[in-house]
Amino acid sequence: MAAEEESSKTMEMEESPMLLLTPYKMGKFDLSHRIVLAPLTRMRSYNFTAQPHAILYYSQRTTKGGFLIGEASAVSETAIGGPNIPGIWTREHVEAWKPVVHGVHQKGGIFFCQLWHAGRASDYCFQPNGHPPISSTDKPIKSKFHIDGTTPAAFPPPRRLLTEEIPQIVEDYRIAARNAIEAGFDGVEIHGANGYLIDQFLKDKVNDRTDTYGGSLENRCRFLFEVVKAVADEIGAYRVGIRLSPFADYNDCADSNPEALGLYVVESLNKFGILYCHVIEPRMITQFEAQPTGHSLLPMRKAFKGTFIVAGGYTRDNGNEVIASGGADLVALGRWFLANPDLPRRYELNAALNKYDRSTFYTFDPVVGYTDYPFLDGSK
Ligand SMILES: Cc1cc2nc3c(=O)[nH]c(=O)nc-3n(C[C@H](O)[C@H](O)[C@H](O)COP(=O)(O)O)c2cc1C
């Protein structure tokens, strides 16, 4: 009897739901599981244009009803923050993305384009006519490393945007969103995280403006909300998401009160009715290094009315846990999904994972470290 009880207990444990693999309705999108491909810059878009090898890369990571967020894509010429990142501001960019998006759709995936402006996290060589990058400030990033924390960097002093120049930058996001939809993407994610342009406005340790875009919390958030409004007006709020990282200080971009900032932003976002909010866990003290902190995303999660996505340091176990505890609706995975194109299947089977190779995260090869991570059955 005891043995029987024991074995039925084991069965129960084995059959307990893998919450990451349960369906979820995100607005009008029917997701078949809750594992999201996090946005991952791969630096394989030569001439700032998506390349044919991206078709294979993204379709490898597509499942029917799976949700994918594309790599950060520059909204304008001044938005570029590194080599070989894709753009979404010209006709050529739109045409180049089309077959990539088509590849994802053919396998039944849902694909959003991440709209990005690097702001001061750039260099003269990426800017039109070698001009300084633009920002909310004229203070440079002091960090001697890029966002990965290991690649040496020397960021130049940016040029502080004039108040009257800001509407044009907002317009760039609007046009980029329209382009993304034209390329076939199902929606866009506005990149408001990780110390890039929007974050440079949001956070008080960077934003030192004295106009209506600086000073109070309300003023510092103005640029973000103008971008959200412009994009939502253009393509519909039902297909607009946002990424935020109030607790992070990547790219030297920190705030003195991240709890208040995060809460204010999500509460204000509710009035736009956007689809989702995607937030980096406070434990990610560098982009790739998790350490326990006393901070939590729960207040933001509770305040936001749409879908809540979390990212940063997630695995099969803590991913299931965060869903079970109501901490999130969806979990975005970066490095593990990069290295395991069939990650949902591996989680389903509790199979071993390919290790990721950090040395090829940002190299330019169209195959190595990109499309050559094997599937479970050994195929590529
Ligand atoms: C190679 C690489 C490129 C990344 N590029 C982006 C990006 O383009 N946009 C973005 O918002 N985050 C980017 N990130 C951050 C990831 O989306 C994610 O937040 C981070 O890797 C932490 O999640 P993980 O622990 O699941 O890897 C990148 C991360 C990696 C490893």
Q: Calculate the average pLDDT of the chain.
A: 95
Q: pTM here?
A: 0.95
The DSSP element (H or E) to which 311 belongs, if any, is strand 307-311
Dihedral, CA atoms, 115, 117, 118, 124, nearest 10 degrees? 130
**What tokens were used for 44?**
């394989």
- Read off the pLDDT of residues 226-257 as tens digits, 9 standing for 90 and up: 999 999 999 999 999 999 999 999 999 999 99
CA 13 / ligand 1 centre spacing (Å):
33
Ligand 1 pocket test, pick from 36, 40, 284 with the greatest ligand atom count within 8 Å of Cβ, gives 40
Catalytic member of 57, 58, 196, 264 = 196
Strand partners, 159: 134
* pLDDT above 60: residue 5: no
Pocket of ligand 1 (CB under 6 A): 38-41, 71-72, 114, 191, 193-194, 243, 280, 284, 287, 311-314, 333-335, 361
Eight-state DSSP code of residue 156: P
- Read off the pLDDT of residues 59-103 as tens digits, 9 standing for 90 and up: 999 999 999 999 999 999 999 999 999 999 999 999 999 999 999
* pLDDT above 70: residue 153: yes
Token match 């995936």: residue? 109
Stretch 269-296: mean pLDDT: 95
> Given pLDDT bands bounded at 50, 70 and 90, which one contains residue 9?
very low
C-alpha to C-alpha distance for 229 and 233, rounded to whole angstroms: 6
Token match 């709209």: residue? 115
- Read off the pLDDT of residues 110-152 as tens digits, 9 standing for 90 and up: 999 999 999 999 999 999 999 999 999 999 999 998 888 888 9
